[in-house]
Amino acid sequence: MKISSTNFNIPSIRFKSNSSQQIKTTPLEKSPQNDSFEMSVGYVNDTHGQTNNMMRILSGIKGDLKLSAGDNDIGDEKNKAIHRATIKFLNIADVKASALGNHELDTTQEDLIDSIRDFNGDVLAVNFKKELTDDLDEDEIKALGRAPLDKALKNSKIVEVKGEKIGLVGASPIDMFARLTHPNYHTDCSVDELEDTIEDIQDEVDNLKEQGINKIFLLSHLGHKKDQIVAQNTKNIDVIIGGHTHELIRGIKEGENLFYSEKGEPVILTEAGRDGNYFGKLNLTFNKDGVITKAQNNIGETRLFHKNMINQFVFDEILGKPEKIGFIKQAPPPPTSLIEENPHANFVCDAMRAEMGADIGIWNNSGIRNFFHEGVIDSRDIKDIAPFFDRMSLAEVSEKTLVDMFKETVKTTYTSHGNKPGLIAVSGLNYTVSPKKAKLTAMNFVDKNGREIPIDIENPREDKMYKVATDEFMMSAGADYAVLAPHDKCLKILPYDKDVLTCEYIKHLDRPIVINQTGRIRFED
């Protein structure tokens, strides 16, 4: 079927991509006007508790139906105010359903159930299982916040849009439990592997079809590559609202986000980046059989929308009024990948180093979730840059331990899908990498006077110690990185995170800030 451009009355010129796609299916006779159905879907994914971006999204998101692909939230039970603000965002936006992402499980099952209870929509996860397999006593269960999470989730739901019934199914990521902040909170839970997940999804879609539903959306936190597999190995799914891998998909392109089901019918995939920096609007026309005949996928850039003052008041009531910290005179655009140097993260490392009296400050690139904007900056802006709550740690770390960690991280970053965990932001160091060899090739310590002192990375010293400042995730958790120092070996552990240090650092500088901290990572062939 040939699809021509259609005017969907897009409300804002800020949408950067207004692409239409001609979907090729078997030719059909021209249907009467009342045999077609038009609708629009506003979608988000991986907003990660970014409250400032949420307020901007509320000013721009449009659609007859609003949906989320999950990871709306971020952080554990120490971030309860942000959890409440996230639910308020979903409710104000009128999001009808969300997939269950991995970051939803950063917190306890009990706290997650409380959040789901406050959500006006539903959280869907057809492949998520909870089994009573743990040998825990009642005190342990209570301490871990265990609760009947499975009863708070649904496999699917049916919504009505403009008189038509739409089926929604949700799926959680296969690698959910490899990506949790507190795995011990959820050891009684599991997610089916991909083959079984596809069966779970198809069974639920079949149930919806049996109820006469012929327009079905999958809310997926599986990731873009797995979404492509699902699209081609199922039938009767029309749209996959995707997340997890942080792809930014503009328009519609065959072989990228337009695929064909087992029945040969079109399936459209969406994903709008990460951290609420973008959101989407998908315009659709279905024929009388529920097959997509026209489609248009638009991406809105969040920073171009203003915060609604009423919504800001509501968020201030939940989060507290932010404190104005300083003024950013100049700041570059943020990097678009984890293998670029990030001057915004380097600046935070400078704050760690200065405020903790360290020789070196380091931060994982994947941990930074926003960037410094030019103009007045407040404490909430900085919290959005560093939304996780990981206490700041200071420890004596040997040169060998430090070099070994950087070597392994560089190797993993250049050989893993999505370049995770990413190159490390630094202060008091600079280093050189070879992307082709996936290798650390040089490193220098930079003292407080700016002198570069070479480190022999082939023979790093075990007796040479540096005071290293970072958060407890990088220092002691051993999740994506080798442990630098266990908790009991740290010189200092502060009861707050790097956002507090950065606020104090900016106050102490007492001048307009220029973010241009680059040249600390060098690249060679």
In the predicted structure, residue 11 carries a pLDDT above the cut 90 = no
In the predicted structure, residue 159 carries a pLDDT above the cut 60 = yes
**Hey, which of 127-131, 303-307, 439-443, 472-476 has the most confident mean pLDDT?**
439-443
For 32, 58, 64, 89, the CA distances from 94, given in Å and listed in that order, are 32, 10, 10, 8
**Nearest 10 degrees: CA dihedral of 307, 313, 315, 316?**
120
Q: How confident is the model at residue 2, as a pLDDT?
A: 37
Give the Cα separation of 209 and 254 in Å (integer): 26
Give the Cα separation of 270 and 336 in Å (integer): 18
| Cα torsion angle, 386, 388, 392, 396, sign | negative
More confident residue, 135 or 64: 64
Give the Cα separation of 79 and 420 in Å (integer): 25
Nearest to 285 by CA among 268, 260, 264: 268
Q: How confident is the model at residue 30, as a pLDDT?
A: 38
Q: How confident is the model at residue 309, as a pLDDT?
A: 83
Query: Residue 390: which pLDDT band, with cuts at 50, 70 and 90?
Result: confident
H-assigned helices in 308-398: 309-319, 343-356, 379-385
pLDDT tens digits for 235-286? 999 999 999 999 999 999 999 999 999 999 999 999 999 999 999 999 999 9
More confident residue, 476 or 418: 476
H-assigned helices in 150-288: 194-210, 224-232
Query: Residue 78: which pLDDT band, with cuts at 50, 70 and 90?
Result: confident
Of the ranges 52-61, 136-145, 341-350, which one carries the lowest mean pLDDT score?
136-145
Of the ranges 190-204, 386-400, 453-467, which one carries the lowest mean pLDDT score?
386-400
Nearest to 39 by CA among 215, 170, 169: 215
Q: How confident is the model at residue 479, as a pLDDT?
A: 64
Q: Which domains does the chain have, with CATH numbers?
A: 51-304 (3.60.21.10), 322-523 (3.90.780.10)
Nearest to 498 by CA among 404, 373, 369: 369
The number of CA neighbours under 13 Å toward the Cβ of 296 is 21
Q: How confident is the model at residue 117, as a pLDDT?
A: 96
Pairing of strands 360-364, 465-471: parallel
Query: Residue 134: which pLDDT band, with cuts at 50, 70 and 90?
Result: low
In the predicted structure, residue 364 carries a pLDDT above the cut 70 = yes
In the predicted structure, residue 317 carries a pLDDT above the cut 80 = yes
For 94, the token pair is 């009128």
The CA-CA-CA angle for residues 479, 480, 486, to 5°, reads: 50
In the predicted structure, residue 141 carries a pLDDT above the cut 80 = yes
Mean of per-residue pLDDT scores for the chain: 90
Give the Cα separation of 309 and 80 in Å (integer): 23
Classify residue 414 by burial, with Cβ atoms within 10 Å: 0-12, 13-18, 19+: middle
Average pLDDT for residues 427-456, to the nearest whole number? 97
In the predicted structure, residue 26 carries a pLDDT above the cut 50 = no
For 222, 271, 311, the CA distances from 251, given in Å and listed in that order, are 21, 11, 30
For 82, 251, 491, the CA distances from 18, given in Å and listed in that order, are 33, 7, 55
Q: How confident is the model at residue 7, as a pLDDT?
A: 32
Q: Is 303 left (phi over 0), alpha (psi -120 to 50) or beta?
A: alpha
Query: Residue 508: which pLDDT band, with cuts at 50, 70 and 90?
Result: very high
Q: How confident is the model at residue 175, as a pLDDT?
A: 93
Average pLDDT for residues 97-103, to the nearest whole number? 97
Q: How confident is the model at residue 32, as a pLDDT?
A: 41
Of the ranges 54-63, 171-180, 261-270, which one carries the lowest mean pLDDT score?
171-180
Tokens 């609202």, residue? 241
Q: Determine contact, residues 307/55, Cβ cutoff 8 Å.
A: yes
Give residue 62's Cα distance to chain centre.
Answer: 21
Query: Residue 34: which pLDDT band, with cuts at 50, 70 and 90?
Result: low
Q: How confident is the model at residue 12, as a pLDDT?
A: 31
What count of other Cβ atoms lies within 10 Å of the Cβ of residue 314? 17
In the predicted structure, residue 19 carries a pLDDT above the cut 90 = no
pLDDT above 70 covers a percentage of the chain that reads: 92
